[in-house]
Amino acid sequence: VSILLIGDLTRSEYESWRERLSACLPASEKLFASDEDYERDDIDIALVANPPAGSLSQLPNLRFIQSLWAGVDRLLSDPTLPTDVPVSRLVDPNLTQAMVECVVAHVLFLHRQIPQYLGQQSSAEWKQWTQPLAMQRRVGMLGLGQLGGAAAQALSRLGFDVVGWSAAPRTVKGIRTLHSAERLNSVLRDTEILVNLLPLTPQTTGILRKELFHVLPRGASIINLARGEHLVEEDLIDALATGHISHAILDVFRTEPLPPQHPFWSHPRVSVFPHVAAATDPDSATQLAANNIAAFRAGRTPVFLVDRRKGY
């Protein structure tokens, strides 16, 4: 039995993952990169980083799939992905910490009205705006999972008035929580800064659209750190034009890299980031993947299994 490392990786990325993995896996484990010669029948574990669609169904003895990325939407969108093989996603405290820092930075940027002051500087305009305190600022958090839950708690510790939204009931220390599609509007109604950390599923695709923007109070801002497909781009451009949405911070896009001619690049009220909110830390990810492989080999249930029915 052998492990296959497969993804949209360059040769040097394969090499660097292999080096780290070899240091963490027992010497008895045979590891192949997908651009090397291997016997398909020998592979029982796939370590994946956005593998090409159709590739995993070619492995007849595959028993376990470990993702090296936190989001598994692209992996699960492969219609040929074997339905009976368990999939674990990456849940890494280092990645969570990176996302928490990113959310706090962007929320404070909007809360402290930095976009307005940067705009004023470009025309040498000295104008002071009333500055509310964090406790007077309502932040809405869509998704209360590993990332959204931790980010919501960090914002609450800074004093923000945070309301969070999930599919099932969740308790997160310091924040008010609501769940289910029926309660979404209650989350949005008073939210001045909306953060999206939902997984991409059929239910959440296009959730950041006209209808949602209209429930937010006039002048609200949005921060999308989850997936580009959550956002209906044309609806955001319209909502920015009317002033209903005052600013958008976008880290993820339908097409990545964002094409140079895309209107977001030059929009004065859009801040573009090149998918950098929270990158996989190869050192910790390798160790976590190796631990999960060891659990699988020992006959234990791997941690952070994806619920294939829910899609995350």
Determine, following the binding rule CB under 6 A, whether residue 45 of this chain makes contact with ligand NAP.
no
- Distance between CA 201 and CA 22 in Å, rounded? 34
Nearer to ligand NAP, 106 or 138 (CB): 106
Residues 6+ apart with CB under 8 A from 252: 224, 225, 226, 227, 228, 230, 275, 277
61-83 burial code (b ≥16 CB/10 A, e <16): ebebbbbbbbbbbbbbebeebee
- Report the nearest approach of ligand NAP to the CB of residue 18 (Å): 23
Residue labelled with tokens 């209650």:
186
Task: Return the residue of 68, 103, 141, 147 that touches ligand NAP, per CB under 6 A.
Answer: 147
Element (H, E) at 32: strand 30-33
Determine, following the binding rule CB under 6 A, whether residue 200 of this chain makes contact with ligand NAP.
yes
Which residue of this chain has its Cβ atom nearest to ligand NAP in the complex?
Answer: 145
Pair 278, 147: CB distance under 8 Å: yes
Determine, following the binding rule CB under 6 A, whether residue 208 of this chain makes contact with ligand NAP.
no
Query: Active-site residue 275, yes or no?
Result: yes
Which among 66, 269, 98 is positioned nearest to 197, based on CA atoms?
A: 98
Residue 263 has what DSSP assignment?
Answer: H
Determine, following the binding rule CB under 6 A, whether residue 178 of this chain makes contact with ligand NAP.
no
Query: Active-site residue 267, yes or no?
Result: no
- Report the nearest approach of ligand NAP to the CB of residue 177 (Å): 9
What is the contact mask toward ligand NAP in residues 245 to 284, using x (rule: CB under 6 A)?
A: ------xx----------------------x-xx------
- Distance between CA 98 and CA 4 in Å, rounded? 28
User: What's the CA dihedral at 152, 156, 162, 165 to 10 degrees?
Assistant: 30
Choosing from 111, 170, 227, 230, which is the catalytic residue? Answer: 227
Choosing from 112, 179, 267, 275, which is the catalytic residue? Answer: 275
Determine, following the binding rule CB under 6 A, whether residue 140 of this chain makes contact with ligand NAP.
no
Determine, following the binding rule CB under 6 A, whether residue 232 of this chain makes contact with ligand NAP.
no
Determine, following the binding rule CB under 6 A, whether residue 165 of this chain makes contact with ligand NAP.
yes
Nearer to ligand NAP, 204 or 246 (CB): 204
Residue 220 has what DSSP assignment?
Answer: E
**Beta bridge partners of residue 270, listed in sequence order:** 248
Determine, following the binding rule CB under 6 A, whether residue 106 of this chain makes contact with ligand NAP.
no
Task: Return the residue of 166, 246, 271, 286 that touches ligand NAP, per CB under 6 A.
Answer: 166
Nearer to ligand NAP, 33 or 49 (CB): 49
- Distance between CA 75 and CA 67 in Å, rounded? 9
Instruction: Please give the residue ranges that form the binding site for ligand NAP (CB under 6 A).
Output: 70-71, 143-148, 165-168, 170, 197-201, 203-204, 225-227, 251-252, 275, 277-278, 312
- Active site members: 227, 275
